[in-house]
Amino acid sequence: MVNQQTSRTGIDERHVAAKATPDESNSAETIVGLKIRGLRNEKRYSLKMLAERSGLNINTLSLIENSKSSPSVSTLQQLARALDVPLSAFFESEPTAKRVVFTTQDHRPGAEFSNAFMQNLGKDLKDNAVQPFIVTLKTEAGSGEQMIVHTGHEFVYCLSGMIEYTIDNQRYTLTPGDSLLFEAHLPHQWTNIHDSDSQLILVLYPADQREEPGGRHFPVE
């Protein structure tokens, strides 16, 4: 599923793919599906209960859990909220509540979805107090028409391409080297307006550590 080439950031994505799966027979969809099923069972939710809590169709959930459909990041966000877990819970391995997280360039936990490739730079950080990601977006991928509002602050740094952010009715065009820092309760949305992939660093600092706003930045299917 992950492009088997070295990305513009110098990351060998073959290595990322290898880290995301225990062996070649296990796809990213399989791991995500098993993780969702495991979390659902831990919460003692039936498939119907999770469908009602997440607002997703029960058939869609069944396809995801059985590795017959690849969820988008927005779908994972709905599931994260319904299961009361951070978005990072769907990445590889169990959290270990680290106080210090050191991530080398070639060991970033990552997962590719329908319109974005996300790499978690703060995996296992205690309490999810800071949530840093590197996000690679396909052309025209973004947060959709619905404005986003959440607690805390948000920091964005454009690595490549061109991202258009709208914050409280004001538009900002980010090119490589540009950044934004703002209060996340201000209504905001964004999209990749470049003619190819764009890449950004997204750092979320929620005021409520139980909140996981990461996937809200992708359109709900």
Q: How far apart are CA 107 and CA 204, in angstroms?
A: 21
Q: Quick check: helix, strand or coil at residue 116? A: strand
Q: What pLDDT is recorded for position 205?
A: 86
CATH architecture of structural domain 13-90 = Orthogonal Bundle (1.10)
Q: What is the pTM of this model?
A: 0.60
Would strands 131-137 and 153-160 be described as parallel, antiparallel, or unpaired?
unpaired
* Residue 190: Cβ-neighbour burial (10 angstroms; 0-12, 13-18, 19+): buried
With respect to CATH, is domain 105-217 assigned 2.60.120.10?
yes
Residue percentage of the chain with pLDDT more than 70? 72
At 130, the pLDDT band (50, 70, 90 cuts) reads confident
- Domain residue extents for the chain: 13-90, 105-217
Of 17-31, 54-68, 141-155, the poorest mean pLDDT is in 17-31
42 forms bridges with which residues in the sheet?
Answer: none
Q: What pLDDT is recorded for position 6?
A: 38
For 161-205, the three-class secondary structure string (H helix, E strand, C coil) is: CCEEEEECCEEEEECCCCEEEEECCCCEEEEECCCCCEEEEEEEE
Give all strands of the β-sheet with 188-192 in edge-to-edge order: 170-174, 163-167, 188-192
At 96, the pLDDT band (50, 70, 90 cuts) reads low
Kindly provide the residue ranges of all beta strands, DSSP E only, lying in the chain, ordered along the sequence.
110-112, 116-120, 131-137, 153-160, 163-167, 170-174, 179-183, 188-192, 198-205
Whether 195 shows a pLDDT value over 80: the answer reads yes
| 8 A C-beta contact, residue 115 and residue 218 | yes
Pick the residue with more confidence: 33 or 51?
51
| 8 A C-beta contact, residue 48 and residue 40 | no
Q: Quick one: average pLDDT of 180-206?
A: 92
